[in-house]
Every structure is written in C-alpha cells, then in structure tokens.
Amino acid sequence: MTVSTLGRVAAIAAAAVSMVGLAATPALAKPAATVDVRVIAFNDFHGNLEPPSGSSGRVILPDNTTVDAGGAANMAAHIKRLQTKNSFVVSAGDNIGASPLASALFHDEPTIEFLNAIGLKASVVGNHEFDEGFKELQRIQRGGCHPVDGCKFHDPYKGAKFPFLGANVYTDRGLPALLPVTVQFSGGVPIGIIGVTLKNLPSVVTPEAVKGLKFGDEVQAINRTANLLDLIGIKAQIVVMHQGDNTEGGGPDDCRTIAGPAREIVTNASPKVDAFFTGHSHTQYNCLFNDPAGKPRIVTQSLSFGRLLTVADLKIDRRTRDVIRTESKAHNEIVTRTITPDPEVAALVNEAKTKSAPIANQPVGSVTADIVRAQNPAGESPLGNVIADAQLAATQDSNAVIALMNPGGVRADLTFPSSGAGEGNGVVTYGEAFTVQPFGNVMQTITLTGAQLKNVLEQQWLANGPTRMLQVSSSLHYTWTASAPIGSRVSGITVNGTAIDPAAGYRVAINNFLSTGGDLFSEFTKGTDLIGGVVDLDAFTAYLTAHPNLAPPATDRITRLP
C-alpha cells in the first residue's frame, strides 16, 4: 500500500473517530462502561437465491441428523430476527460466481440486490468474485450495465452498496487494487473491518480473470492494516477472510478442524485483531484459537449457500474502545426454512426465477436414447459415466487424469422423449440438464497418491452405513470383490490402462462436496494442490454440446467379483 493511500484511509477513519467524540451526551447521563456489538457473518453464498436442493441445502447436526436450510428470503428473515441495536452484517467472500441459473443468468445482479437489501456492510473478495474478471467486479461494485449483455435484470443496475475489500490485492505496479479496510460504528465505537483473500487465488481462477493483479501474503496485509487502525485509535478489529480449514465433522458449533491455511494465518496474525470470520472451504466451525500473544480469539465459518449465519457478540470497553475477548462469544445459527420468508427478498427471488425461465427451454445437446442414473450390480450407471467424463474434460487445464462423481449428485435421468416444452425427441434442454445436476457444486482438482486413491475407493463401503459407489471417468478401471472384508475389496486399479503406483501422484477431478469429505469420503480431505474450476452444471452442458447425439456409454469401468 502506498503512503498516499495509507494517508487517505487514515484521514477518513480518523475524521470518523473524531465525530464519535463530538456526539452529544446528556449532561447528567453516565454511559455504560461497555457496549455490546453483534456481528452477523456468512460466507460462500454463491448466488443461491432459492433454497439449495439435496445435500447442498442441509446442515449436519452433532448427531449426524440434518436440517433443511437456506434460501435468500429465509436468510433475510433470520437476519432481521437476529439484529440488535448495535449490529451489522459482513461476508467472507464468494457471494457471487458459481451461482444457480436465477442469479448467474443476470451476472449475479439479483444477488447483489439481495445483499443490499439485507444491509451488508462489507465483504472480502473471494476467488469467485473474479470469475468474470476484475473489470466485471468493478462494474458489480459501481453499477452500470454489462458491456455485452446490457441490463437484463433491472435497468439501471445500481451496484453494490457495500465495499469489496482486499488488503492483499494489488495492481501489478504494487498499488492497492481494492479498499483494504472499512470502519463500522456501532454503539458509538469504531470497529475496523479488514478484508484478506487467499494469497494463492491466481491458482484457482483463470489467468485472464486476474490479469494485472497480484495477491500478497495474508498475514503481512493483516498486520500492516491492523497497525494503521491502531495508530489512529481504532482498537476493535475484525477480519473477514476468504480462506478456511476443513473439519473432521461435528455440528455447526464444533471445532474439530484440520489445521490448515486459515489456522496458520490466525495464529500468526497481529494480536490487535479480535475475531476472524472465514470462508472458502464451505465448512462449519466455531473455534477459539490463540493469537501470537497467547490470547484466544473467535474464529468461525458458516458453511455455504446461506445455510448458516455466524452470530458473534462482542463486548467492547468504551474507555479503551477495545474488545473484551473473555466476555465475547459466537455461535452458528441455522437458516431454517420454517421461518416466514422476508417479503421484499421473496419478491426479488420470484422475479429472478420468472425472468430466467425462458433460458431453461434452450437446447444444449441431444441423446439417442434414455441415459439413466440406475446403477448396474457393479455400481456403475450410464449417466454417472457421462457426468464423470464431462468433469474430466472440464478439468484438463488442471491436469486431471481421472474424475470421480458422487452418485447422490445425479438427481434425474436424461430422457429421450420430448418434454412438455415441445423441444422434440432426443433434445436435451438446459432445464433438463439442470434437473440432473441442480446443486451448483464447483469442480476442484486435487492430487492423491495411488495409495490414497485406493483408500478413497475402499471408503465406498461402510460397516454401518449405506454403500456409495462413486461414478468414474473412462480413464479409471478397477475390480472389487463383494465377499472381501470392508477395507480390502478393491484391486486392479488402472489409470489410462496402466496399473497405479501407490507412491505416485494423480490429479483427480471432484466437486467441492467430495473434496471436503462429503458422503463420509474423508480420504479426499488429504488431497493436495487444490485448484478450483467451473460449476459442475457448466461442465455437463458443455460436454453435451460438444457430443451431439450422445449414446448411453457402456458400463464396463467397474468390475464386480463374487
């Protein structure tokens, strides 16, 4: 950050702090020694205006039961219920990008209108904020019509009423590309909100998306900004950070996290910061981790897709203007669907659904016969094979050599007869493809050793649970023996016709549900060198378009022995 930029930020913040001191106080009034401030946080909303379906729309409780959750109108209603006299809302990034049809069709403008409606005060940029490039992010911030598509949702599009933050985002000349910090006043006390995103962001987006930008070390950016805030008298400080850790399970307020990049940042960043609201890994946790001075501070993440809200109640000393951490606490609140939806947001969502409906009838491909999701005795399905092949094709730029798809994500058959829209026999519409893959999961590529790949395949069978047969791309073949003990059933694994080497690394394409251990495939969480990709539905439709008159593929990739 340049000296002039530091000066501008400092001057603005210092002037605001001075205004607090000038606020009129009744002559005989004695203000309370402390003030209670509530921070309501969320992360990785990804344009999920409608309640997500399937596992993407459920929250896992401590007893492994689930609760249906999410939906923008429900989320808005819960935020209103949770608001206090001194409260504000923040986001840890990926509000937009990898979004369902009702938002994505309009370049996520409906989602920004939703975030404006709930009074979002600040958001850090996530990697998906850059999906359409930095210029498009600037348009999303400032407003105006899309340079190609125009204003397809509302004309004019007015932009975001909240700032996108990025203290570690710079131009290639070293200048700040985004505002590093903003200041929120609650109960007469200034609170600094610092935003940092993952430093390896360029590795999870296309090069064109971040052309002309550099992403620096998260800890250095936090420390520099925290020192600036402290210098001008802003002692209460929080970080919204698009970086997170994975977990070993548990409910919304569990803290069985696997030490990763988020914990490394939190335990090394300035003790001046009082709480971290994290994202990116789409997990749920509520933790206390020590800062470098040995004092615990709040660290949370609220899953994804608007299913949870973090509620952090901070106790602030009016005299020192700093957070009393020992008297502050946080919990993750489920965005249940039983609440009365917010009518304003419900109307916005219905408008987006109505306007996006025509796109659902557009053809994206064609098939010669029904391609069904039913599995053969070995656990393989024709449609599962097609989807795995599509995901492998979509992740070639990440050097994927195989793709694995969770069977629960295949929600319907691709049928040959025409639908009620009258598109004709064999024609696959976007709406039909969306019905097959409605979750909007994000493709990711990780490296697994041959030994880890075998462990993944062994985890398809549970001692006390359902069997979940992963659907595999045409590059992967293996045999399993039904009579063998669980944990020792898989043999003969080949990749592109060659037997796997247990010590060698293999690039594996999976969706973000699996990469975080979904369906109890915990071995996936050991993968390294994660690179993000397209939405799974985009991969599917692109494959259908590239392979017209697609016939049901043979189911010969998995062999079952007695």
DSSP letter for each residue of 353-396: HHHHGGGGGSEEEEBSS-B-----TTS--HHHHHHHHHHHHHTG
In a domain, 276, yes or no: yes
What pLDDT is attached to residue 17? 44
Instruction: Reply yes or no on whether the pLDDT at 10 is more than 70.
Output: no
The candidate with the shortest Cα–Cα distance to 480, out of 415, 557, 382, 371, is 557
Output phi, psi for 484, to 5 deg.
-75, 155
Which tokens in the block code for residue 286? 């509520």
Q: Do 469 and 322 lie in a common domain?
A: no
d(CA 514, CA 246): 12
In a domain, 413, yes or no: yes
Helix or strand run (H / E) with residue 101: helix 101-104
In a domain, 548, yes or no: yes
Q: Do 331 and 467 lie in a common domain?
A: no
Picking from 371-385, 436-450, 547-561, which range would have the lowest pLDDT averaged per residue?
Answer: 436-450
What pLDDT is attached to residue 408? 82
Is residue 109 within 8 Å of residue 141, measured between CB atoms? no
Q: Which domain range does residue 414 map to?
A: 362-561
Which tokens in the block code for residue 156? 């004019």
The average confidence (pLDDT) of the chain is: 91
User: Greater confidence, 381 or 2?
Assistant: 381
Q: Do 345 and 381 lie in a common domain?
A: no
Is residue 407 within 8 Å of residue 470, measured between CB atoms? yes
Q: Do 334 and 379 lie in a common domain?
A: no
Condensed to tens digits (0 to 9), the pLDDT of residues 223-262 reads 999 999 999 999 999 999 999 998 888 899 999 998 889 9
d(CA 277, CA 261): 14
In a domain, 13, yes or no: no
Provide the number of structural domains found in the chain: 2
Q: Do 515 and 406 lie in a common domain?
A: yes
Q: Do 282 and 378 lie in a common domain?
A: no
Q: How many C-beta neighbours within 10 Å does residue 9 have?
A: 21
Q: If pLDDT is split at 50, 70 and 90, which confidence band does 289 have?
A: very high
Instruction: Reply yes or no on whether the pLDDT at 211 is more than 60.
Output: yes
CATH of the domain at 155: 3.60.21.10
d(CA 386, CA 371): 9
Angle in degrees, 0-180, between the axes of helices 72-82 and 109-117, rounded to the nearest 10: 20
- Cβ-Cβ contacts under 8 Å for 501 (sequence gap 6 or more): 450
Q: Do 338 and 388 lie in a common domain?
A: no
d(CA 547, CA 487): 37
In a domain, 408, yes or no: yes
Name the domain boundary from 325, 351, 377. 351
Condensed to tens digits (0 to 9), the pLDDT of residues 314-350 reads 999 999 999 999 999 999 999 999 999 999 999 999 9
In a domain, 220, yes or no: yes
Q: Do 380 and 263 lie in a common domain?
A: no
Q: Do 86 and 54 lie in a common domain?
A: yes
User: Greater confidence, 474 or 57?
Assistant: 474
The candidate with the shortest Cα–Cα distance to 209, out of 137, 157, 281, 148, is 137
Q: Do 72 and 181 lie in a common domain?
A: yes
Output phi, psi for 62, to 5 deg.
-55, -30
The candidate with the shortest Cα–Cα distance to 509, out of 397, 343, 345, 380, is 397
Bridge pairing between strands 189-197 and 236-242 = parallel
Instruction: Reply yes or no on whether the pLDDT at 310 is more than 60.
Output: yes
Q: How many C-beta neighbours within 10 Å does residue 255 have?
A: 14
Q: Do 393 and 344 lie in a common domain?
A: no
Condensed to tens digits (0 to 9), the pLDDT of residues 16-30 reads 444 334 334 444 566
In a domain, 313, yes or no: yes
Name the domain boundary from 323, 351, 379. 351
Is residue 34 within 8 Å of residue 318, measured between CB atoms? yes
CATH of the domain at 512: 3.90.780.10
Instruction: Reply yes or no on whether the pLDDT at 164 is more than 50.
Output: yes
Q: Do 428 and 319 lie in a common domain?
A: no
d(CA 429, CA 423): 8
What pLDDT is attached to residue 4? 43
Q: If pLDDT is split at 50, 70 and 90, which confidence band does 360 have?
A: confident
Name the domain boundary from 300, 331, 351. 351
Is residue 112 within 8 Å of residue 159, measured between CB atoms? yes
pTM above threshold 0.75: no
In a domain, 372, yes or no: yes
Q: If pLDDT is split at 50, 70 and 90, which confidence band does 105 have?
A: confident
Picking from 87-101, 226-240, 288-302, 485-499, which range would have the lowest pLDDT averaged per residue?
Answer: 87-101
Is residue 554 within 8 Å of residue 376, measured between CB atoms? no
What pLDDT is attached to residue 28? 52
Condensed to tens digits (0 to 9), the pLDDT of residues 494-506 reads 999 999 999 999 9
What pLDDT is attached to residue 54? 67
Maximum average pLDDT range among 328-337, 417-426, 460-469:
328-337
